[in-house]
Amino acid sequence: MHTRSLTHWAIFSAPLLILLAILWFGFSSEGDVAIYFKDHRLLHPALRSFMQVVTDWSNPLFYGVYAVMLLTAWRSGDRDRVRFILILLVCQGVVAGLAVHFLKSFIGRPRPGQGLWFDPLTTRASQHSLPSGHTTEIIGWSLPLSLRIDKIWLTVLMSLFIGLVGFSRVYLGWHHPSDVFFGWLLGSMGGLATTVIASTSIFTRKG
């Protein structure tokens, strides 16, 4: 990875990691975080509705973005962009799909307010808190795009957006802050893998 790409990654990650640090150090436990936001949601239904829209539509937004990118690249004969998107889809399938669902079931961490005990190898959704799949997926979609376009203004906008998405998962009571952190970590791995693979000559047509 180039130093510039790592700089973009740091800027991209900063708002979300700062928010998570505030939650970790501002409360005595993650259980207290869940209780605080449960009460806050009851008092602020409009904010809750906004956060619900953010969490529900953030990833589908990127489905549309990449669908348009793939279609236009295919029609224009831009093989490099088509290859980039196909690599991205494979990495997303492996990391945000297979790896996340395996870890959720294997770890079996209860979601906020669903108890304290882990239940490994479970199929119950109430025990699928770790890691945050929404966070993993949104990082996996947005990080490669930020690195590919390589514009600071876009990276900053993406950073604020993914910070909001990650926070919405905690605010709505679907995840603990540490779930979101590991979602960020997994998503970063997938996003960086996409960027590294796309920058090599692998899967390129010879001749």
Q: Is residue 128 one of the residues assigned to a domain?
A: yes
Q: Is residue 152 one of the residues assigned to a domain?
A: yes
In total, how many domains does the chain have?
Answer: 1
Give me the mean pLDDT over the 57-62 stretch: 96
CATH number at residue 154: 1.20.144
The pLDDT, as a whole number, for residue 202 is 73
Q: Is residue 204 one of the residues assigned to a domain?
A: no
Q: Is residue 129 one of the residues assigned to a domain?
A: yes
Q: How sure is the predictor about 207, in pLDDT bands with cuts at 50, 70 and 90?
A: very low
Token digits of residue 99: 């790896």
Q: Is residue 31 one of the residues assigned to a domain?
A: yes
Q: What is the pLDDT of residues 2-18, one digit of tens each?
A: 777 889 999 999 999 99
Q: Are 87 and 79 in contact (CB under 8 A)?
A: no
* Nearest Cα residue to 145 out of 71, 204, 202, 87: 87
Q: Are 59 and 138 in contact (CB under 8 A)?
A: yes
Q: Within its chain, how far is the Cα of 26 from the centroid? A: 23
Measure the CA–CA gap between 195 and 190, rounded to whole angstroms.
Answer: 9
Q: Are 158 and 62 in contact (CB under 8 A)?
A: no
Q: Is residue 33 one of the residues assigned to a domain?
A: yes
Q: Is 4 exposed, middle or buried (0-12, 13-18, 19+ CB in 10 A)?
A: exposed
The answer to whether residue 187 scores a pLDDT higher than 60 is yes
The residues, ordered by sequence, that sit 6+ positions from 191 with a Cβ below 8 Å of its Cβ are 91, 139, 140, 142, 143, 144, 147
Q: Which domain holds residue 60?
A: 3-198
Q: What is the pTM of this model?
A: 0.94
Mean pLDDT of the chain: 95
The answer to whether residue 203 scores a pLDDT higher than 80 is no
Q: Is residue 203 one of the residues assigned to a domain?
A: no
Q: Is residue 205 one of the residues assigned to a domain?
A: no
The pLDDT, as a whole number, for residue 205 is 63
* Single-letter amino acid code for the residue at 203: F
Token digits of residue 79: 């093989």
Q: What is the pLDDT of residues 127-185, one digit of tens each?
A: 999 999 999 999 999 999 999 999 999 999 999 999 999 999 999 999 999 999 999 99
Q: How sure is the predictor about 1, in pLDDT bands with cuts at 50, 70 and 90?
A: low
